[in-house]
Amino acid sequence: MKSKALLIDHTEVKPGESKRITVNIARLPSHTPIQITITVSRALEPGPTILLMGGLHGDEINGIEIVRRIIERNLHIPKKGTTICIPIINIFGFIHFSRYVPDGKDVNRSFPGNKNGSLAARVAYYLMKEIVPKIDYGLDFHTGGADRTNFPQLRCVMTDPDNAKLAGVFAAPFSLHSPFRPKSLRWAAAKLGKKILVYEGGESARFDEYAINQGIQGATRFLHHMGMTDHTAPIEHPSILIKSSSWIRAKASGLFLSEIKSGQKVKKNQVVGYISDPFGEFTIPVRSGATGYVIGLNNNPILHQGDAVMHIGVIKAETPPM
C-alpha cells in the first residue's frame, strides 16, 4: 500500500519528505503575525500518524523543550508513518510568558473552536480542522501552572484498554486516570475518534531536566511501540497507576514550609509540612488526608486559606502483615 500525499495549510508533504510549515493564524494590531511552526516528517512506508505538541499554554516551556529536543535529535524521523511536531501552539503566550492568548482566554478551554471567534477559538479551530483529523494518536506535553510543579505523569482515560496499554508503553513515573475536561483538546479529539494522551511534568516558566528527559524517553518508547522508529529507552520502573487523587488545602493563611518532596510517598495523617504566621503567632501542621504519592506541589510558600498545597495521587493503604 502506497502512502498518499499529506496536505497541511496548502503545503503538500509527500512520502519520504520532511518539511517545516509556517501557518499564519492571526495578526496583532502592530501587524505582528501570530504563527504556528509545524515540522512534518514522513517515511516512504505507510504507517500511523502521530502528533507531538507542546506550548498549548505558552509558559509551559518543559513541553516545548521536549518537542524541540526530539526534533533536534532526529528522534521524530520515522521509518514508517508520519510525525507532526508542533513545539509551540500558543506563540503569543510563549513570548509574553503567559498561559493565555492576548484576549486572556485559555486555548485548552476553547475547543473545538471557531474560525470567526476569539484568538483562542481560532487556534483551536485550526488544530481541529487541519491537524487532528489527519492523526491517529497525539502526545500533548504540559507542565504544572500557577507556581505548581507536577511530578512526571501521563493522563488519559484509563478505562479505555488502548489508552491503558499506551500509558504502560510511555511509562511515565505515574499514570493517572483522567476523565475528559469539556472544551479541552483531548475532549474534542475524542469526539473525532482520535486519542490524545497528556503528559505533565515540572512547573511553568522553569526547566526541569528530569521531567524533560522523562517526556523524551516516553515519546521514543511510544513511537517505537508503533513501529515507527528504532529509538527506544529502557523502562527503569513500571508506571504507578493512580485512579483517583485529592488536594490538600491550607486551613489557614500563612507561610508554608514543606517536609515532603514531589514524587514522594506519604501516608494518611502524615505531617507533610507546616503553615506559620509571618508574625510568629502560630505554626500549625499540615497533614495528608490519604495514603498515596505527591504528584503535584505548590512551590509558592505564601498561602491563603483554602489554597491548594499538595496534590496526592491516592492509593490503597498497604495491608499490614497478619
Residue 173 one-letter amino acid: P
Residue 87's nearest CA partner among 37, 134, 128, 137 is: 37
Domains in the chain: ranges and CATH: 6-240 (3.40.630.10), 244-314 (2.40.50.100)
Q: How far apart are CA 201 and CA 142, in angstroms?
A: 7
What is the tens place of the pLDDT at every residue in 29-38?
888 888 899 9
Per the structure block, which three cell numbers stand in for 273? 509540612
Residue 5 one-letter amino acid: A
**Beta carbons of 82 and 43 less than 8 angstroms apart:** yes
pLDDT above 60 (res 319): no
pLDDT above 60 (res 313): yes
**What pLDDT band is residue 3 in, cutting at 50, 70 and 90?**
low
Q: How far apart are CA 171 and CA 93, in angstroms?
A: 30
Per the structure block, which three cell numbers stand in for 24? 499564519
pTM comes to 0.94
* Distance, CA of 130 to chain centre: 21
pLDDT above 70 (res 1): no
**What pLDDT band is residue 317 in, cutting at 50, 70 and 90?**
low
User: What phi and psi values does residue 146 have, to the nearest 5 degrees?
Assistant: 55, 50
Looking at residue 320, its pLDDT comes to 45
What is the tens place of the pLDDT at every residue in 276-293?
999 999 999 999 999 999
The b-or-e profile of 236-270 (16+ CB within 10 A means b, else e) is eeebbebeebeebebeeebebebebebbeebeeeb
Residue 89's nearest CA partner among 19, 140, 29 is: 140
What is the tens place of the pLDDT at every residue in 177-235?
999 999 999 999 999 999 999 999 999 999 999 999 999 999 999 999 999 999 999 99
The b-or-e profile of 73-110 (16+ CB within 10 A means b, else e) is eebbbbebbbbbbbbbbbbbbbeeebbbbbeebbbbeb
pLDDT above 50 (res 275): yes
What is the tens place of the pLDDT at every residue in 108-148?
999 999 999 998 999 999 999 999 999 999 999 999 988 89
pLDDT above 70 (res 321): no
Residue 235 one-letter amino acid: I
- In percent, the amount of the chain with pLDDT more than 90 equals 88
Q: How far apart are CA 154 and CA 133, in angstroms?
A: 23
Residue in this structure with the C-alpha cell 509527500, named with its chain if needed: 14
**Beta carbons of 180 and 194 less than 8 angstroms apart:** no
* For residues 20-46, average pLDDT: 91
**Beta carbons of 127 and 147 less than 8 angstroms apart:** no
